[in-house]
Amino acid sequence: MICPHCNAANQPNAKFCALCGQPIAAQTTSPQSTQTMPTMQPTQPAYASYDAAYGTAHTAPQQTQSAYATTQPTYATTQPAPAGITDDDFDRLNRTWTLKQVLLERGLFPFIFGIVGCLFIISSLPIIQIITFIPAFLVSLLVGTILMRIWLTLTKATHAEPEIVEYCRRSGIDPHELTRPVWYAQYGTIIGFFALGFIGYGIMMATGNVPLSFIAYPIAWLLIRALNKYMFAHTQANTITIAAVQAGCCDGLFHDEGEKTATLKRLESRNYGTVRAALDAARSSRSFTKLGVIGGAITAVGAFLLFRPVDKAVQDEIRLHRDPYNVMVEQMDRDRRNRR
C-alpha cells in the first residue's frame, strides 16, 4: 500500500504509514488515486523555470494582477479631463489676457517702455526733482502694459499654440496650466537688460574710452542668454511643449523627421519658447547649410574654370605679351631685322 502523503510503501493491511505515521486506511480501496497523482505531474515541469525564478506557479496570476493594479492609478490620474472643463474653457482661457498676465508673460515690452519713459522725463527735469522717477516709471510701465494688452486682444494672440492646447485636451491637463505666467522666460532678459547697461556704462567710466565700452555688449549678450537658459531649466519650461511634440500632436508642422528632431533639440536647449520659433530656427539653419554647400560648389567650379592649368606654350605667349620688358625687347628685335 502506498502512502498518499509521502509515497512510502507499506503493508497491504496497514492503517498508518510506517514512515510518516499518517492514516492510510481510507485509501486502501482507492487504487485509482495512485493513478491520478502521476497524471498531475506532467503540468508541473511547464512551471519549473517560473517556480525557480518567482516562487510557485500558483503565484503567477497574482503577480500579473498586482502589476496591472499598480498601473491603474497612474492611468486614472492622467487620462480623464478635469471635471467641469470643456473645450470652450480651453479656448477662452487660452485667449483671455489680463493686465497681470501681460505684465508677467509679455513683460519685456512694458518694461522697456517704462525705462524709456523714465529716462525721457528725468532728462527734462532738474536734479532736485529726481523723486519723480518712481511715478514716471510706474506710469510708463502701466501705459506699456495697456498698449501690449490692446495689441494682444486685437491680434487674438493665444497663451499656447493650438497643438499644445490639443495635447492638453487629450491628456486631461487643466487649462489653467496653459495660462500660467511664464514670466521666468522674460526674467533673465530683464536682468540682462540691466546688465547690458551697467556693464557698458561701467567699462566706459573705467576706461574713459567710449569705443572700448562696446566690448561690454557681447559680454552682456552672453550673460542674457545664460540667464534665460538658467531660468528655463530651473522652472522646467517647455515641458508640456516637448511632450506634445513627442506625442505627435505637432507632426502636421514638420516636413520630415529631421525637422522634428531639430525642433525638439532646440526646445530642449531652453532657448525657444514655442514650437514654431524652434521650427523656424531649424529651417533657417538647414537653409543656410544648403546655401553654403551650393555656394561652395559654385565657387569651386568657378575657381577651376578661371585658374585651370594651360599649356606651357600658351603661358609663355601670355607672359611675353603681358610683360612690358618682353614687349620692348621683341620690338627692338623687329627693328634690328628691318634695318638689315
* 294: Cβ contacts below 8 Å, ≥ 6 apart: none
Question: Which triple of cell numbers denotes residue 202?
Answer: 561701467
Residue 210 · residue 204 · CB < 8 Å? yes
| Confidence bin at 311 (pLDDT 50/70/90) | low
116 in any annotated domain: no
Q: Is 199 inside any structural domain?
A: no
5 is a domain residue: yes
33-83 pLDDT tens trace = 444 444 444 444 444 444 444 444 444 444 444 333 333 333 333 444 455
| Tens of pLDDT, residues 206-260 | 555 556 556 666 776 777 677 767 766 666 667 888 888 998 888 888 988 989 9
Contact between 11 and 19 under an 8 Å Cβ cutoff? The reply is: no
Q: What mean pLDDT, rounded, does the chain reach?
A: 70
**Residues 6 or more apart in contact with residue 316 via CB below 8 angstroms:** none
Q: Is 333 exposed, middle or buried (0-12, 13-18, 19+ CB in 10 A)?
A: exposed
Is residue 192 over pLDDT 50? yes
- Domains in the chain, number: 2
d(CA 252, CA 256): 10
Q: Flag whether 320 is in a domain.
A: yes
Q: Give the whole-angstrom CA distance, residue 255 versus residue 279.
A: 10
Three cell numbers written together for 313: 606654350
| Residue at 286 is within a domain | no
Asked, for residue 339, whether it belongs to a domain, the answer is yes
DSSP structure class, residue 5 = T
Residue 317 structural domain? 309-340
Establish if 22 belongs to a structural domain: yes
Q: Is residue 329 part of a domain?
A: yes
